[in-house]
Structure 1
Amino acid sequence: MTETSTPQTDWADPHWQATALEWVADRLARSGRRVTGPVEPRVRPWSLVWRVPTDSGDVWFKANNPGTRHEAGLLAELARLTPDRVLHPIAVDTGRGWSLLPDGGPSLRDTLAAEPDLSHWERLLPGYAALQLTVAPHAQRLLALGVPDHRPAEMPQRFEVLLDDEEALLLGAENGMDPELHQRLRAYRGEFEALCRRLADFGVPATIQHDDLHDGNVFVAADGYRFFDWGDASVAHPFGTLLVTLRSVAYAGELSADDPALLRLRDAYLEAWTDRYDRAALREAAELAMRVTTVSRALSWQRALVTPDPARAEYAEAVPGWLGELFAPLPV
């Protein structure tokens, strides 16, 4: 599936657009479809997305920047390993970080806006956990595809390197990381390493970790739920998923951290591991994993902003912001 490896390109360049549209049209033609109108673009520093009208409904083209280019290959691998839990790409070009996907239907966010119902999360989280368990034996394959390595043993070194990235932390900038916080994070390195070591000691195998699993990244279909937008994903401790998921649920529902609904969702997710681990141990591991994942989120944003796009400044505070969350209260 790898065709060409290219550096970051100017997505506004007419030649690039013509080349990409030609690729889309060719891949659609192979499946008996054709483009029927102009594309509708959405551009972010980390990706360009086109809604492409065809004679059999809309499809979606995505071009990733260099920091998230692994998503194309990951999509294809997840479709092979867990075909009932993700969309099946029409085509991918792993070298260029291009993917072409069918329309997934309404998102969970759209569904909840029409009828708020947390039971959707109680039903979908076990399915997401099942995806992670299926993928776990293939973690090395994902790493070979370029999916970032955020396993607990790797995180202390990644944390240290990130703390030296003055540009990503906006050190010295008006909206950058506070110098006192920077020093506090440096002083925390030994404790962070011990935290990662403790997390690894639970023995839960590393697997794919979406790292941005909220209601905007889940499709709701008649036959179940589909998980999409894997650009932030890494090979990591699976339970780190809960950080963004529970925070997003709490925010949308205006729930406190000790709300029984959040505890139910946490336990519904962890249930998939109760055949081999004690529930109390799973809850402790989940707490540690969420703490470690604040650094994972900062790393994801660091990759997403590896681009000359001037719009990156709008999002640049996310890297120091997530590192600061290392000391913040957890969602449960």
Structure 2
Amino acid sequence: MSRVITLVLVDDAGVSLGALPPFEVPEPWWQQVGGIVDGARRHHGVDVAVLRLLAADRPEPPGGHLTYLGQVTTPVAVPLEPVPVDLAPHPLRAPWARPCGPARSLAWATGELHRLGRPVTATVQHRTWNLSAIWRLDGEHGSAWLKQVPGFFRHEAAVLRWLASVAPATGPALLAADDAGRILLDHVPGEDRYTADDTERAAIAADHHLLQLRAADHVDALVAAGVPDLSGPALAAWIRRWLAPYDVSAVADLLADLDDRLDQVRDCGLPDTLVHGDLHPGNVRGDGRRRVVIDWGDSFVGHPAFDILRLTETLAPAAAAPLLDAWAARWRADVPGSDPRRAVDLLRPVAPLRFAAAYAMFLANIEPSEHPYHAADVPACLGAAAAEAKQVIRPD
């Protein structure tokens, strides 16, 4: 599956210049823009910074015919097609999605790297969408990554600082950060472990347990640093807040009993800790010698079971069972008298319910043209929560 791209160009003042003839890129995922930058240069000789998605011919990713907005800073020699496009400002538009936004962020990052004695010789745009913008910055001293995120993810820098001080090498090295959501990260060797097998997932779970055990003694400091507190009743209130505009009839009983369910989870005896929030193998990067957990923007203080549920989410029950058993055994050993397996069972429907609320939060904080990124996720997660809620929780 690929994408067909129509790229509407603007100058540095945001004035529309027209659109390049459509071209195809191999990457199907809408937020990946490296292929768009390469395609514009290869097919049309145009250097461009992709700003944002304008329109899609389908309701959700991946693939399709997509229209993006891109900025050029030099004259365009190729003929452009006049196209109607609404370029009016929007209050929810990300800083990197505005003309000159990428240039300002790259100027900050190159300045920080120069200060660190790592001058930049080339920059490559990799991603832009409502949740982040990512560039690679190369130089003689290696590569670094610039990531800029919206306000609800800005605690990622605080988490990375905490990881560096308490559990070095478990997360990317933070080189710099500012109050505009920009973070500068040192390169992590290896590849994202989307294809991790059951053995590798078991190792990820074991490593993460040690981290969460340490973090349990630091939750007050993490919350004070800006990490969202979704522990206990705070989680129920947060879920209800973001799902309030939606049809939640499929999970009405689950929502009505949510406080009681979370009280039962608390009675299982496990401590609140740092939760990654999206611990699938693709958010783990490794090179055969070490593994580093990346993308901590979804993190919060809450129950550790959310991460093992995410890590085993796509596995068949027979494959997930040994990982869950090992996870429970570790917590029983470290917290005598606790009942980790019952906590997992109680939280199974809450996990997709939390994701539904998270996607609802994203939608409430992005402009309408980018809604297709997440619009289908809310009902899908509500359906998954309803299905899990029908399962019988085994007795103590």
Q: Smaller-chain TM-score range?
A: 0.7 to 0.9
The alignment status of 1:189 with 2:262, answered yes or no, reads no
The structure in which a higher percent of residues are helix is 1
* Structure 2 equivalent of residue 281 of structure 1: 339
* Structure 1 equivalent of residue 103 of structure 2: 18
Conserved 8 A contact 1:246-1:262: yes
* Structure 2 equivalent of residue 298 of structure 1: 356
List alignment gaps of at least 5 residues for structure 1. 1-6, 170-176
Structure 1 residue 84: deviation in Å?
2.8
User: Per-residue displacement from partner, 1:159-184 (whole Å, max 9, x unpaired)?
Assistant: 332332x2xx3xxxxxxx5xxxx234
Among 374, 379, 396, which residue is 1:320 paired with?
379
Q: Distance in 1 between matches of 2:158 and 2:224?
A: 10
Equivalences for residues 82-101 of structure 1 within 5 A: 82-93=167-178, 95-101=179-185
The alignment status of 1:220 with 2:220, answered yes or no, reads no
Greater relative contact order (CA < 8 Å, ≥ 6 in sequence): 1
Q: Distance in 1 between matches of 2:197 and 2:379?
A: 34
Conserved 8 A contact 2:268-2:338: no
How many residue pairs get aligned? The number is: 300
Which residue identity is paired with 1:235? V
Structure 1 residue 92: deviation in Å?
1.6
Which residue identity is paired with 1:231? G
* Structure 1 equivalent of residue 123 of structure 2: 38
User: Per-residue displacement from partner, 1:26-63 (whole Å, max 9, x unpaired)?
Assistant: 21122211111132231121111112222222211110
Secondary structure class of the residue paired with 1:247: coil
Structure 1 pair 309–88 and aligned structure 2 pair: CA distance change class (3 A): farther
Which residue identity is paired with 1:232? D
Structure 1 residue 284: deviation in Å?
1.0
Which residue identity is paired with 2:378? V
Structure 1 residue 156: deviation in Å?
2.3
* Structure 2 equivalent of residue 172 of structure 1: none
Q: Distance in 2 between matches of 1:302 and 1:71?
A: 20
* Structure 2 equivalent of residue 138 of structure 1: 218
Which residue identity is paired with 1:285? A
Structure 1 residue 24: deviation in Å?
0.6
Conserved 8 A contact 1:153-1:200: no
User: Per-residue displacement from partner, 1:130-150 (whole Å, max 9, x unpaired)?
Assistant: 111111111122222222222
Conserved 8 A contact 1:73-1:92: no
Conserved 8 A contact 2:125-2:136: yes
Equivalences for residues 66-145 of structure 1 within 5 A: 66-93=151-178, 95-109=179-193, 112=195, 117-145=197-225
User: Per-residue displacement from partner, 1:235-260 (whole Å, max 9, x unpaired)?
Assistant: 11011112221113x1xxxx3x2x1x
Tell me the TM-score normalized by structure 2. Answer: 0.69
Question: Structure 1 residue runs of 4+, over 6 Å off?
Answer: none
Further displaced range: 97-106 or 9-18: 9-18
The alignment status of 1:199 with 2:265, answered yes or no, reads yes
Secondary structure class of the residue paired with 2:193: helix
The alignment status of 1:269 with 2:354, answered yes or no, reads no
Secondary structure class of the residue paired with 2:348: helix
Conserved 8 A contact 1:59-1:100: yes
Which residue identity is paired with 1:160? R
Conserved 8 A contact 1:45-1:312: no
Further displaced range: 211-220 or 294-303: 294-303
Tell me the TM-score normalized by structure 1. Answer: 0.82
Secondary structure class of the residue paired with 1:33: coil
The alignment status of 1:243 with 2:302, answered yes or no, reads no
User: Per-residue displacement from partner, 1:285-320 (whole Å, max 9, x unpaired)?
Assistant: 122233322222223223334222622323122123
Structure 1 residue 222: deviation in Å?
4.7
Which residue identity is paired with 1:18? A
Which residue identity is paired with 1:158? W
